[in-house]
Amino acid sequence: MKVHNAIVIGSGAGGAMCAKQLQGRFQVTILEAGREFRPFAADLSLIAKLRRTRLLFDAREIGWIFPAMNIRKAGSGMILVSGHGSGGTTTISTGNALRQDGDLRQLGVDLDEEFDELAREIPVFAGHENKWRPTTRKFFAICRELGLDPRPMPKMGDHARCRSCGRCVLGCPHGVKWDSRQLLDQARQNGARLLTAHRAERVVHDQGRASGVMARHGLRKKWFPADLVVLAAGGLGTPRILHNSGIACQASLFVDPVLCVAAEIKDSFQNRELPMPFAIQKKGYILSPYFDHLSFFFNRDWLRKAGNIYSLMIKLADENRGSLLRAGVQKTLTAADRDRLQEAVATCAEIFQRAGVGRDRLFFGTLNAGHPGGMLPLTAAQAGTLHDPRLPENLFVADASLFPAALGNPPILTIMALAKRIAKICRRDRG
């Protein structure tokens, strides 16, 4: 019997899930542009000494000391952060487990079954309040007093074992946080192969069918024939590959911008605490305590002792009005985005005020974003197939490119649920 080949591009949440689900019905090859992920090993005190030399001044320099984190500039001072290695961006995430499929449900996409399966497959832990430091407990109480309804953040992984090292976004060094490399391991145990340092350039297709993928490995170009191609290279990588393949996406990029509002609070030690321990959900944004390593490394306003910095993250659900150009990513905040951001800053200032920190003592992080998507948004007409008619019949997309609007929330769990459904469709109709 002929063995059907499936090429999965990307090894993050969507790609790893599809690879695990498809292996067996297909012979799966996963193409990952980065290398095997390694956690950031350097002591932060060494970074603190290095930044005082002023040699660290541009966030794109992070690749010198942490190759698994990729930085792009997007205009208006905003930088875009993504993972670059096996596991994709899941390895440098905070491991949050939030279901955020409201917009998909409005289109008619019901993922209840997939979320139920994920609940059985991936450990989720929310009982970590006993690990919070006193300052975080104080801020949680203040947020409750203000009627903001703060809620502990559910985390993917065995966080009962968390050692409170604060390094989730640098790669958990203790194997506590879950990331998609566990899905990759399962896929590989069943026969899939993972090829790192293989950057997919384009999908070759003709007369409505994809025949394979052209990729680059070092200086060599390599051809991978395929009966099925699943493109899960992320909200920036997927549109770029589609463009190279002659398939146009929409100028509807969102990125979930993040701005941290911070203050000096002696011995708060947020840098040694579980990031995003709780969250406040507001219309168009969330607030959550978060030590911003990028700002600590590169933002001169953060030239302070790490253990004395306490910050609140603002994560916006921005308007989907960005694009990818030959020169790079074009994405700026709209007037509505800026109004919402100012509202969130005012809320953060009020929280700090209640904690005894005046607005004149606040400082800000570098505007950044790490949840791009929306450039191939699903419509109600595609709710059953999850397949855009612009794509060849055997080419599927399985990442945040499909989201119709920004979540303003951690997307990993929702991407995996969507990828699960896509893999089921492929197994049923393409195997």
* The CATH classification of domain 45-88+127-172+253-369, taken from the options 2.60.40, 3.40.720, 3.30.410, 3.30.470: 3.30.410
Residue listed under structure tokens 């911003």 = 292
Bridge partners (DSSP) of residue 260 are 313
pLDDT of res. 123: 96
Relative orientation angle of helices 412-430 and 13-22, to the nearest 10 degrees: 30
Structure tokens at 399: 């990442």
Is 82:255 a contact under the CB 8 Å cutoff?
no
Return phi, psi of residue 116, to 5°: -65, -40
* pTM (2 d.p.): 0.96
Is 425:398 a contact under the CB 8 Å cutoff?
no
pLDDT of res. 65: 77
CA separation for the pair 234, 390 (Å, rounded): 18
**How many other CB atoms sit within 10 Å of the CB of residue 304?**
14
Per-residue CA distances from 115 to 38, 194, 383, 418 (Å): 29, 26, 17, 9
**Do strands 27-31 and 193-195 pair parallel, antiparallel, or not at all (unpaired)?**
parallel
Give all strands (DSSP E) within 255-354, no chain letters. Answer: 257-264, 278-282, 285-289, 309-316, 323-325, 328-330
CA separation for the pair 211, 213 (Å, rounded): 7
Is 9:34 a contact under the CB 8 Å cutoff?
no
CA separation for the pair 41, 50 (Å, rounded): 15
Instruction: Provide long-range contacts, Cβ within 8 A and 24+ apart, for 356-359.
Output: 357/263, 357/265
pLDDT of res. 216: 97
Is 226:4 a contact under the CB 8 Å cutoff?
no
Domain ranges of the chain: 5-36+179-250+374-430, 45-88+127-172+253-369
Structure tokens at 313: 């993250």
pLDDT of res. 64: 76
CA separation for the pair 247, 392 (Å, rounded): 9
**How many other CB atoms sit within 10 Å of the CB of residue 55?**
9
Structure tokens at 318: 């921005």
* The architecture CATH gives domain 5-36+179-250+374-430: 3-Layer(bba) Sandwich (3.50)
pLDDT of res. 55: 60
Residue whose C-alpha is closest to residue 374's, from 345, 343, 344, 400: 400
Q: Provide block-wise average pLDDT over 10 residues at a time, the chain (431 residues).
A: 89 98 97 95 74 66 82 84 96 97 98 98 95 98 98 94 93 95 98 98 97 97 98 97 96 97 98 97 98 90 93 98 85 96 98 98 96 98 97 98 97 98 92 60
CA separation for the pair 426, 396 (Å, rounded): 9
Residue whose C-alpha is closest to residue 141's, from 354, 356, 311, 358: 354
Q: Please give the torsion angle defined by the CA atoms of residues 184, 187, 191 and 196, in that order, rounded to the nearest 10 degrees.
A: -20
